[in-house]
A and B are shown apart, each in its own frame.
Chain A
Amino acid sequence: MKAAEGNPGSLLVEMRGICKNFPGVQASDGVDLRLGKGEVLALLGENGAGKSTLMNILCGLYRPDDGEIRVRGKAAHISSPRDAAALGIGMVHQNFMLVESMTVLENVILGIASLPFVPDRAAIRKEILGISGRYNLEVDPDAFIWQLSVGVQQRVEILKLLYRKAEILILDEPTAVLTPGESKELNAIVRRMTDEGKSAVFITHKMEEVMTFSDRVMVLRKGKVVVEKRTADTDPQDLARLMVGREILFCIDKAPFEPGAAVLEMKGVRADDERGIPALDGIDLTIRAGEILGIAGVAGNGQRELAEVITGLRPVKAGSISINCADTTNHSPLSVIRSGVGHIPQDRMLVGAVGDMSVADNLAMKGYRGKALSAFGFIRIPRILAFARRKIEEFRISTPSPRTNVKFLSGGNIQKTILAREIDSCKCLLVAAYPSRGLDIGATEAIRKELVAQRDKGVAVLLVSEDLDELASVADTIAVFFDGRIMDTLPACDVDIEKIGLLMAGVGPGKEKPA
């Protein structure tokens, strides 16, 4: 523990009384933050607690309304990421800021103003290799970004910061995209950096990350610091309670698992992704009525394509899909909707919702075809509004009015809007891709409960998730995806997270665990 208590010499960053107001939200409300040399600080909080806002202020993306920042004991004016970089502050954002069509080397030097017109690539390559050797950041400097897995892309982001001599690294939910193994490697990398006196702040809402990564933890709620503790002095239950402000249940009550007839049957399904590269490589899968089948796996192993072939959004190249024994292979999206399939897509704002239309319109976007909301080709606006009011109430969607445009809602409420619509239109099968990703605990709980409620009603549910705890608590059966194939299918009741982790990394069920 190298926490900076009482020793101003080792204090790297000090933020005092930071306030930042967004329309209707006090995102930061007098926050004090201290970061010592060689320390890892975890910022824990629900969505909208103000973690990202605070860090975006530190790295120059936002300007605080009030408050003071001191770096290495000197008052700092950080009005752009460039200012932050000059102070040795760098951030790895949740959505990587890499140029896909350029190489690792090019991405690393991108935007460095001091570089000569024709940079000395050989020297840069040498330096990059030096850094990767020192921190065990295995990266090929000449690989193109699009060729790299998400985990490696993250290493490139870190490499970029180290190349710029960053001393203070901010990581925004770094493990969200990693396998358990990759998370461990990341932890080792961060440790090596702190051993050299660099410091790290990472933003998260996962307890286990706090416990394994950090020296000190700061819990934020509604823009205020709730507590600041040494990680060793706390435990996950305690943190969860502080974060949400109440006790939360990690398990969900479910009726006993009594599956009915097969609803979705896929046989030998193959499909390509956008680039024409095979994404699904012979999928055989059955979901029965009243069953939640969880798909575990690192994002990008064919889960998106799986949801899309089932819902008619992506052509199937080989194999067959049937719903309730009726063939739906390569049927139109409308035909699949009509056979009673609901779909919570992985891209909320790009696909799931129409931001520039109202909550009521979004809720009606599937039901408008039915007699309840339209007649003789005309939509019945009063009924659409009444329907919307009912759903807003039922699903506790927090919106100023049904006529408010969806883009003004928070992520959780947008997701609830989509969920409300899809559950309303779903009769036999619900495909949910990462339904709780990025949502706070309250919204996550509501969405998981709703999935279980659908299952208890006899709906077959396909739940794609990268959160193993979610799968373990919600699913009945877990299928592990790797590289477009199902590695293994296991009952969820006595699941071994370690084993699933290995399957997710492509280590087959027959093989021994590597030492």
Chain B
Amino acid sequence: MKLHFEKRKSPSGTVQVLVPVVSFLVSLLLTGLMLAAFKVDPVATYLAMYRGAFGSRTGFGYTLVKAIPLMLTGLGVSVAFKLRFWNIGAEGQLVMAGVGATWVAIFWSAWMPQSLLLPAALAMGCVFGALWAGIPAILKVTIKVDETLVTLMLNYVAILFSQFLYYGPWIDPKGQGFPGSAIFPEAAWLPKVFGPASMGIVFALILAVVLWIVMNRTKWGFELKVIGANPASARYQGIAVGRNIILGILLSGALCGLAGACEVTGIGHRLQEGLSLGYGYTAIIVAWMAVLNPLAVIPVAILMAGLLVGGDAVQMRMHLPKAMSLVLQGMILFPMLAGSLFTEYTVRRSHKAHTPATAKEGGA
């Protein structure tokens, strides 16, 4: 018997769901083998991780805290990836948005109606994120600069710029030299809705649905899909390719920006070290695992956040390095990539067991 790979005629819905799920299980298995090799009980470890992340209301709350930025950046990144625009700058867009939101929250509160302070801070975060993503988009569309490099480099620029601000001009005058901006007025605090998790979760849920509708049911979403699938054809169909890429990436940046704005207004209430813990990079895994489907981004982000929180629990209970959860995270991507084979191909058994692949031996 022989196994054959045959190209699928149309994508199978079941397989598209199955691949990420099975990939996750395979990665658990692989990591488990590694744990076992180090004489650590994998089952106990996973249980500890699960209990830490999802086992209690508080634990789940903290999982959601980490899931919010992953959801929003995951949504942002998936819009860009749909356009085949490799935005790996979600991290920088998130940080710049933190800067923008801080600017409004601290410096506009003197003259702005307090009720508008929070919406304005969030909106400014979106604007900063969008503009930060807009730079590589405009460079790509006008003079064909590779977006991968530019988005990546701008991450460092954004992080260093924010450091410059909270170590320098924006440092809290009452902070005794401790790096970090002044604390925001309470009007600019994002309310909590589930334990420690802020209203950002509501934004993320609404935006996931809205984004799904935009991408799948609107003319603009249709145009973005055509551009992503074949830009030359899009131009021929009369679609303004450059303008739509820029608009799409502004949207992507704005979503990543909202993540940053929610972080500063919802958690630290100030601009300080540790604004992003690599969410912008994890977002790439989230977007791929969700096969760029905005609705799938939500559960995937929660799962990834659970890994992060569970990793903390493992560190405390099992005395394992925190990097364990990062290893597991990385392990997920490999079976995912391998699994994409099954979304494109189907496996058939050949019944002609005796048929060799090459020409048979001649009778001579």
Using a CB–CB distance below 8 Å, which chain A residues touch chain B? Answer: 23-24, 63-70, 74-79, 311, 313, 332-334, 336-338, 343, 345, 347, 350-358, 361, 365-366, 368-369, 374, 377-379, 381, 400-401, 403-405, 408
Contacts and interface: CB of A to CB of B under 8 A. Distances in A.
B362 interface: yes
28 contacts: A64-B359, A65-B355, A65-B357, A66-B360, A68-B360, A75-B364, A311-B236, A333-B238, A336-B238, A337-B237, A345-B236, A347-B232, A352-B233, A354-B226, A355-B230, A357-B229, A361-B222, A365-B226, A365-B233, A366-B238, A368-B222, A369-B219, A377-B219, A381-B217, A400-B9, A403-B10, A405-B10, A408-B10
Interface of B: 6-7, 9-11, 217-222, 225-226, 229-230, 232-240, 352, 355, 357-364
A68 B360 CA distance: 6
A416 B219 CA distance: 24
Given A63-B357, A68-B359, A408-B9, A379 B222 contact: yes
A77 B234 CA distance: 46
Given A68-B362, A77-B358, A334-B238, A356 B218 contact: no
Given A75-B362, A379-B221, 7 more contacts: A63-B357, A351-B230, A377-B219, A400-B10, A401-B10, A405-B11, A408-B9
B235 A313 contact: yes
A379 B232 CA distance: 22
A283 to B, nearest CB: 21
A89 B9 CA distance: 34
Contacts, number: 112
A64 B357 CA distance: 7
* Best-surrounded residue of B9, B226, B352 (most CB of chain A within 10 A): B9
Nearest to A311: B236
Contacts of A355: 229-230
B358 A313 contact: no
A404 B10 contact: yes
A74 B364 contact: yes
A248 B237 CA distance: 35
B5 to A, nearest CB: 10
B218 A67 contact: no
A77 B229 CA distance: 40
The 5 closest A-B pairs by CB, nearest first: A75-B362, A334-B238, A354-B230, A23-B6, A337-B238
A381 to B, nearest CB: 7
A351 B9 contact: no
A208 B233 CA distance: 35
A65 B357 CA distance: 6
A270 B221 CA distance: 37
Contacts of B357: 63, 65
A66 B355 contact: yes
A351 B218 contact: no
B219 A379 contact: yes
A67 B230 CA distance: 40
B220 A377 contact: yes
Contacts of A374: 219
B356 to A, nearest CB: 9
A350 B233 contact: yes
Contact of A351 (B6, B232, B359, B361): B232
Contacts of A76: 359
A338 B364 CA distance: 69
A67 B225 contact: no
A24 B237 CA distance: 32
B143 to A, nearest CB: 17
Given A75-B364, A400-B9, A403-B10, A343 B236 contact: yes
A356 B230 contact: yes
Contacts of B225: 357, 361
A201 B352 CA distance: 31
A27 to B, nearest CB: 14
B217 to A, nearest CB: 5
Contacts of A404: 9-10
A337 B360 CA distance: 56
Contacts of B9: 23-24, 400, 404-405, 408
Nearest to A401: B10
A352 B9 CA distance: 20
A65 B352 CA distance: 10
A380 B126 CA distance: 31
Given A64-B359, A400-B10, A333 B236 contact: yes
Contact of A70 (B10, B239, B362): B362
A190 to B, nearest CB: 27
Given A313-B235, A350-B233, A365-B226, A379 B358 contact: no
A379 B218 contact: yes
Contact of B233 (A68, A334, A354, A400): A354
Contacts of A377: 218-220
Nearest to B225: A357
* Best-surrounded residue of B233, B359, B360 (most CB of chain A within 10 A): B359
B236 A69 contact: no
A413 B330 CA distance: 43
Contacts of A332: 238, 240
A353 B233 contact: yes
A355 B9 CA distance: 12
Nearest to B238: A334
A361 to B, nearest CB: 8
B10 A352 contact: no
A506 B11 CA distance: 50
Contact of A78 (B6, B359, B362): B359
A369 B237 CA distance: 11
Contacts of B237: 333, 337, 365-366
B219 to A, nearest CB: 5
A347 B233 CA distance: 10
Contacts of A356: 229-230
Nearest to B5: A23
Nearest to B361: A75
* Best-surrounded residue of B219, B234, B357 (most CB of chain A within 10 A): B219
Nearest to B360: A68
Contacts of B235: 313, 333
B236 A23 contact: no
Nearest to A357: B229
Contacts of A75: 359, 361-362, 364
A324 B355 CA distance: 64
Contact of A79 (B234, B358, B361): B358
Given A74-B364, A357-B225, A405-B10, A351 B219 contact: no
Nearest to B357: A63
Contact of B218 (A65, A378, A403): A378
A132 B218 CA distance: 60
